[in-house]
């Protein structure tokens, strides 16, 4: 379960970071903080994929979100 949590947190952080990088680029600012957010998100993704038993497949990403949501609700 910890691998699913790392993967979901990584996807969310990297997604928000990518949006921030585009926003910073459009306003002609240097994307320092948002680029760091993308790197942290990618690090979480890699850590989660490394800890996943049997490896990580992109087809299992929605199931990882469901597992994390069920863990939060319960």
41 contacts 20 by C-beta, under 8 angstroms? no
Q: With bands split at pLDDT 50, 70 and 90, how would you rate the model's confidence at 1?
A: low
> What is this structure's pTM?
0.86
24 contacts 62 by C-beta, under 8 angstroms? no
H-helix or E-strand spanning residue 46: helix 32-51
Which residues contact residue 48 at a Cβ distance below 8 angstroms, ignoring those fewer than 6 apart?
2, 3, 4, 5, 6, 7, 8, 9, 10, 56
Domains held by the chain: number: 1
| Cβ neighbours of 40 (radius 10 Å) | 15
Q: pLDDT digit string (tens) for 18-69?
A: 999 999 999 999 988 999 999 999 999 999 989 888 878 888 889 989 999 9
Q: Which range of residues forms the domain containing residue 12?
A: 2-73
């Amino acid at each position: 379960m910890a691998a699913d949590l790392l993967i979901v947190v990584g996807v969310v952080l990297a997604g928000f970071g990518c949006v921030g990088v585009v926003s910073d680029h459009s306003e002609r600012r240097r994307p320092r903080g948002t680029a760091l957010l993308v790197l942290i998100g990618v690090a979480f993704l890699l850590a989660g994929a490394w800890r996943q038993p049997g490896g990580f497949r992109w087809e299992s990403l929605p199931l990882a979100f469901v597992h994390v949501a069920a863990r939060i609700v319960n």
